[in-house]
């Protein structure tokens, strides 16, 4: 898939790597404000407790975390995809 850099839609300062399917692209700094909300569920808190560099590098991980914070739930497929992505990132590091 072709990737390119585009300015963040919120701050218009930072560039974000995006693809043609990404609609509303935000940088890590803009999405960090929303994703810093506390998570009460211990199972989910453990799942989202990964190195901050993973969130900086991967917008998919940020989107899943924001989705959980907004909806207070995730589907099984979302959790599997999150765990698989984290596992792949740990392998490549």
Report domain extents, the chain.
28-92
pLDDT by residue for the chain (93 residues), tens only, comes to 688 899 999 999 999 888 888 888 888 899 888 888 999 999 999 999 999 999 988 888 999 999 999 999 999 999 999 999 999 999 987
Which residue, among 16, 12, 6, has the nearest Cα to 55 in the 3D structure? 16
**pTM of the model as a whole:** 0.84
Placement of tokens 């560099």 in the chain = 53
- How many angstroms separate the CA atoms of 25 and 67, rounded? 15
């Amino acid at each position: 898939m072709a990737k390119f850099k585009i300015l963040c839609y919120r701050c218009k300062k930072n560039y974000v790597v995006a693809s043609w399917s990404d609609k509303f692209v935000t940088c890590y700094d803009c999405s960090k404000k929303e994703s810093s909300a506390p998570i009460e569920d211990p199972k989910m808190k453990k799942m989202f407790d990964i190195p901050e560099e993973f969130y900086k590098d991967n917008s998919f991980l940020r989107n899943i975390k924001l989705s959980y914070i907004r909806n207070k739930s995730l589907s099984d497929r979302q959790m599997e995809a999150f765990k698989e992505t984290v596992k792949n990132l740990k392998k490549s590091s």
